[in-house]
Amino acid sequence: MRVAVVGAGVSGLTATKCCLDEGLEPTCFEQSQDIGGVWRYTEHIEAGRPSLYASVISNSSKEMSAFSDFPYPEDFPVFLPHAKLLDYLRRYANHFGVMEHIKLRTTVVSIRKRPDFATTGQWDVVTEADGKHTSHVFDAVMVCTGNFSEPTIPLHSFPGIERFKGQYFHSRQYKRPDVFEGKRVLVVGMGNSGVDIAVEASHVATKVTVSTSRGAWVLGRVFEHGYPWDVVFNTRLMSLIRNNLPGPLVWALINYTVNKRFNHENYGLQPEHRLVSVASSVCDGEGSK
């Protein structure tokens, strides 16, 4: 079976590799000039691609995020800068012979069921490369384009924004904190990007304010006894506790553990829901304002 894989990020690379494992014939189409998806940093913003800021470091440890059949090199740091993670993806793709099945600078224009789809299950796929359209027939299609390529800015939620004389933009457009030099900054949202940017901005801005509608747990990458936070929270013992103890007791234990770093209530950040049902943010930096 011939399989079309759309996108050569993490999901696209693993999908292509798994197709090869199963004896299938994958062709991976990547519209940009290289593999890596969200983990390939560029100074400029590319249409249709996620965009990183220069200081991004992975929130999951290498022990918990490595592919099961391809561990990270031992000399790699526990939490990886984007360049190291991209290096790991390149090694993975080369090790399993994935690269030879990838067509770079090739955009998938359309995917449609063939007229005889009911009996063959096949798809018509049209791609574009160097201004030339090419038609293909595949037995299966796997879409691995991710969900971070288009920013969401709900301006309707900010009445009067049209009269605001300052600058506003999505975190996708952020690269370095110098854009906040000497300014009063409002960061809306406490996701991982929000807290990272707020910390960086605090070192150069006049004032930084973070707005959150429901609070958030703020976790450090390094947790109890120097272990990565995700290693601590994802042990068999923790799984046993979460799945077998009464909910209120589990909530109390997690609440106690997370608040040992700092009391979230003192900063107006205490979520009303359990850790598993509310967003948490991973941040190691300390802001100055």
User: Tens of pLDDT along 77-129?
Assistant: 999 999 999 999 999 999 999 999 999 999 999 999 999 999 999 999 999 99
Residues 185 and 277 in one domain: yes
Residues 161 and 131 in one domain: no
Residues 100 and 163 in one domain: no
Residues 268 and 167 in one domain: yes
Residues 36 and 164 in one domain: no
> Is residue 288 a part of any domain in this protein?
no
Give the tens place of pLDDT for each residue, 210-264. 998 888 888 889 888 889 989 988 889 888 888 888 888 888 888 888 888 888 8
Task: Check if the beta carbon of residue 37 is closer than 8 Å to that of residue 10.
Answer: yes
Give the tens place of pLDDT for each residue, 10-57. 999 999 999 999 999 999 999 999 999 999 999 998 888 889 999 999
The pLDDT score that the predictor gives to residue 94 is 98
Q: How many CB atoms lie within 10 A of CB 134?
A: 12
Task: Check if the beta carbon of residue 269 is closer than 8 Å to that of residue 216.
Answer: yes
Of 120, 143, 166, the domain-final residue: 143
Average pLDDT estimate for 261-285: 73
Residues 72 and 190 in one domain: no
Residues 247 and 270 in one domain: yes
Residues 100 and 159 in one domain: no
Give the tens place of pLDDT for each residue, 199-213. 999 999 999 999 988
The pLDDT score that the predictor gives to residue 285 is 63
Residues 31 and 163 in one domain: no
pLDDT over 80 (residue 286) = no
pLDDT over 50 (residue 283) = yes
- Alpha-carbon distance 266 to 264, whole Å? 5
- Alpha-carbon distance 134 to 23, whole Å? 25
Number of separate helices (H) and strands (E) present in the chain? 8, 11
Q: Print the domain residue range for 115.
A: 2-143
Number of domains in the chain: 2
Residues 107 and 224 in one domain: no
Task: Check if the beta carbon of residue 41 is closer than 8 Å to that of residue 52.
Answer: yes
Of 122, 143, 164, the domain-final residue: 143
Task: Check if the beta carbon of residue 86 is closer than 8 Å to that of residue 9.
Answer: no
User: For 227-265, what is the HEC assignment?
Assistant: CEHHHHHCCHHHHHHHHHCCHHHHHHHHHHHHCCCCCHH
> Is residue 148 a part of any domain in this protein?
no
Of 101, 116, 143, the domain-final residue: 143
Residues 129 and 205 in one domain: no
Q: Domain of 103: which CATH number?
A: 3.50.50.60
Residues 113 and 170 in one domain: no
pLDDT over 80 (residue 276) = no
- Alpha-carbon distance 145 to 63, whole Å? 25
> Is residue 110 a part of any domain in this protein?
yes
